[in-house]
Amino acid sequence: MVLYFSATGNTEFIAKRIANGLNDESLNLLKRIKNHDYSEIHSDKPFIICAPIYVCEIPNFLYKYLKNVKLTGTKQIYFILTSGGYSGIGKHYCKRIARKQKMKYMGTTDFKMPRNYIASNAYPLLSHEENVQRLKDSISKLPPVIERIKEGKKIKSRYVWQFEYLIIKPFTPIWIKVKLRSDKFYSTNECIGCGKCALVCPFNNIEIKDKKPVWGLTDCTHCMACVSNCPKEAIEYGEITKGKERFLCSKYKNDIE
Ligand SMILES: Cc1cc2nc3c(=O)[nH]c(=O)nc-3n(C[C@H](O)[C@H](O)[C@H](O)COP(=O)(O)O)c2cc1C
């Protein structure tokens, strides 16, 4: 069974294709994460965990969820990471999840996907053509991965150097605390109060008050789910997101199929 979390659709794009290729089911974990639902998920086929990379790691809320949810049936667990090109030490967390679940770690593979992060000027979004190319490249990388999973073989991982771990491990929590704040999010006059932002927030950090979203100040990982899924593009992060195109993988559907 393929389990995934996806804020802007990249991970879902890969997860669904893997599930199709394996003739297996896929399960979006968003509702379970929001409801703190750790109840049993059973599969007789291997679990394939698909996760995005945030700040060189598997996002902490997802890591915690995957460590604690009750997975039963198969003893094999695979990991698929999607990133903008650098999956950092994500693989370390995959191994830890496998250990905690007492399952056989069957490897991690990462896919380079379109960039989705617009709340910083440091990582400009790619052009439409570049995004299409990344998605096509990912599609062409899928068959050998699916084949190995079908054959019960391990999938290959990028080598993670010890120095990456030593740098990233202390750096990430500081970066998250300083940079990934929620106090600059607000909705513009375009907001219709539909509440979609609240529905897609994995932290339940958005409340709709007087038909407008209000962000809590504690939990946010800048996953871009609220910003990208707003049907009116009415969510901004300070001045930084103004005028920028919102990324949603589903916008590329017609270019791929
Ligand atoms: C908060 C945040 C941090 C990110 N950090 C990284 C990173 O460290 N390395 C990287 O290559 N991509 C990074 N990305 C890009 C995402 O990993 C990539 O776009 C991913 O495929 C998004 O998956 P989703 O659409 O399923 O949410 C980051 C994106 C966000 C929103």
Q: Is the CB of 90 within 6 Å of ligand 1?
A: no
For the CA of 117, the nearest atom of ligand 1: 31
Query: Rounded to whole angstroms, how far apart are CA atoms 114 and 248?
Result: 9
Alpha helix locations (H) across 69-221?
90-100, 128-150, 162-179, 196-200
Task: Please say which residue of 136, 163, 190 terminates a domain.
Answer: 163
Instruction: Check pLDDT > 80 for residue 219.
Output: yes
Q: How many angstroms separate the alpha carbon of residue 175 from the centre of ligand 1?
A: 14
Answer whether residue 257 is part of any domain: no
β 206-209/212-215 pair status? antiparallel
Answer whether residue 254 is part of any domain: no
A 10 A CB-CB count for 42 gives 10
Question: What are the residues whose beta carbons fall under 8 Å from the beta carbon of 240, sequence distance 6 or more?
Answer: 118, 119, 120, 121, 184
Q: pLDDT tens-digit profile of 126-172? A: 999 999 999 999 999 999 999 999 999 999 888 999 999 999 999 99
Reported confidence tier of residue 218, pLDDT bands at 50, 70, 90:
confident
| In a shared domain, residues 38 and 156 | yes
Query: Rounded to whole angstroms, how far apart are CA atoms 68 and 104?
Result: 16
| In a shared domain, residues 156 and 186 | no
Answer whether residue 170 is part of any domain: no
For residue 86, which of 172, 177, 190 has the smallest C-alpha distance?
A: 172
Instruction: Give 97-100's long-range contacts (Cβ < 8 A, gap of 24+).
Output: 97/49, 97/63, 97/66, 97/67, 100/67, 100/68
Q: How many angstroms separate the alpha carbon of residue 95 from the centre of ligand 1?
A: 20
Q: The domain spanning residue 74 has which CATH number?
A: 3.40.50
Instruction: Check pLDDT > 80 for residue 229.
Output: yes
Q: pLDDT tens-digit profile of 32-84? A: 999 999 999 999 999 999 999 999 999 999 999 999 999 999 999 999 999 99
For residue 50, which of 123, 142, 137 has the smallest C-alpha distance?
A: 142
- Mutation probe of ligand 1 site: the residue of 3, 12, 53, 118 with most atoms within 8 A of C-beta: 53
Which range of residues forms the domain containing residue 190?
181-247
| In a shared domain, residues 35 and 101 | yes
For residue 248, which of 115, 124, 146 has the smallest C-alpha distance?
A: 115
Q: pLDDT tens-digit profile of 20-29? A: 999 999 999 9
154 to each of 18, 109, 163, how far by Cα in Å? 15, 10, 25
Q: Is the CB of 2 within 6 Å of ligand 1?
A: no
229 to each of 111, 195, 196, how far by Cα in Å? 22, 11, 7
Closest Cα to atom 3, ligand 1: which residue? Answer: 54
How many separate domains does the chain show? 2
Q: What are phi and psi of 33, to 5 degrees?
A: -65, -45
Of 75-84, 168-177, 245-254, minimum mean pLDDT range: 168-177
Answer whether residue 173 is part of any domain: no
A 10 A CB-CB count for 89 gives 20
Task: Check residue 52 and give its pLDDT.
Answer: 98
Contact criterion met (CB below 8 Å) for 26 and 72: no
| In a shared domain, residues 147 and 222 | no
Closest Cα to atom 16, ligand 1: which residue? Answer: 83
| In a shared domain, residues 126 and 22 | yes
Task: Check residue 217 and give its pLDDT.
Answer: 82
| In a shared domain, residues 59 and 148 | yes
| In a shared domain, residues 141 and 211 | no
| In a shared domain, residues 28 and 139 | yes
Instruction: Check pLDDT > 90 for residue 256.
Output: no
Task: Check residue 22 and give its pLDDT.
Answer: 98
Instruction: Check pLDDT > 90 for residue 125.
Output: no
Answer whether residue 204 is part of any domain: yes
